[in-house]
Amino acid sequence: SRPGKKSGFVTIAEEIGTAFASEGWTLLYGAGSSGLMGTAAQAAIDAGGKVIGVIPSRFPEEVLPNLYYTIKTTTIQERKSVMFNCSDAIVVLPGGIGTLEEFFEVLTWKQLGWHDKPVILFSFEGYWDNIPKLVDNIVNNEFAQADSQKLYSVERNLPDLISRLRESLSSRSCSNE
C-alpha cells in the first residue's frame, strides 16, 4: 500500500480510477486509502464511479471514506477470495511483494482451470516488463507449461488497458463464469 517513488504512478492510478468510472465499471479493491489502489479508488469516487472495498475487520489500514459498499472479512485469505469471486477481471497495477503474490495466485488458479477471467498486468513505464521474462525462464526450465504466457496479458498504457478490458468483458457471459 505504497504510492511508489515516481509521481507518474499516482497520476496513472488517478486516470485509471477516472476511466473505470467513465466506463461504468465498479472498482473492487482492498478498501485502503493508501497506495495506488487507494488513489485509483478515490479518483473513481470523485468521478462518480462505484467503488467496493474488501478489508479484514481487524486490519489496521484506514478504510477509504465514501465507498459504495465495504465488505469486512476475517482474514487476508478470505479478503482475496471475496475480491476474486466478486470480480470480472483482474488488473495488476505496479506494486510490491503482496501484489506479486496476488498476481501469481490468480495465475495459478487460471492454470488449474478454476477460472477464465482476464488477468492484466499494467506495466506502466515498463514496471512489470521483467515478469514475462521470468515466466519464460520458468517455462524454459520446464517448471511450467509452455503456454503459461497465455494466462495473462500485459498492457503499457491506459488506452490499451481500457480497450483490453472492454474486449475481455464484452466477450464474457454468464455461462463463462
Q: How far is it, in rounded angstroms, from Cα 81 to Cα 104?
A: 14
| 54: enclosing H helix or E strand | strand 51-56
Give the CATH fold of the 1-87 domain.
Rossmann fold (3.40.50)
Q: Given pLDDT bands bounded at 50, 70 and 90, which one contains residue 29?
A: very high
Q: Where in the chain is the domain with CATH 3.40.50.450?
A: 1-87, 89-166
The distance of Cα 16 from the centroid of its chain, to the nearest Å, equals 11
Tell me the percentage of the chain whose pLDDT exceeds 90: 82
Mean pLDDT of 119-128: 97
pTM for this prediction: 0.91
Q: What is the mean pLDDT of residues 153-168?
A: 97
Q: What are the tens digits of pLDDT across the range 33-77?
A: 889 999 999 999 999 999 999 999 887 567 888 999 999 999 999
Q: Does domain 89-166 have CATH number 3.40.50.450?
A: yes
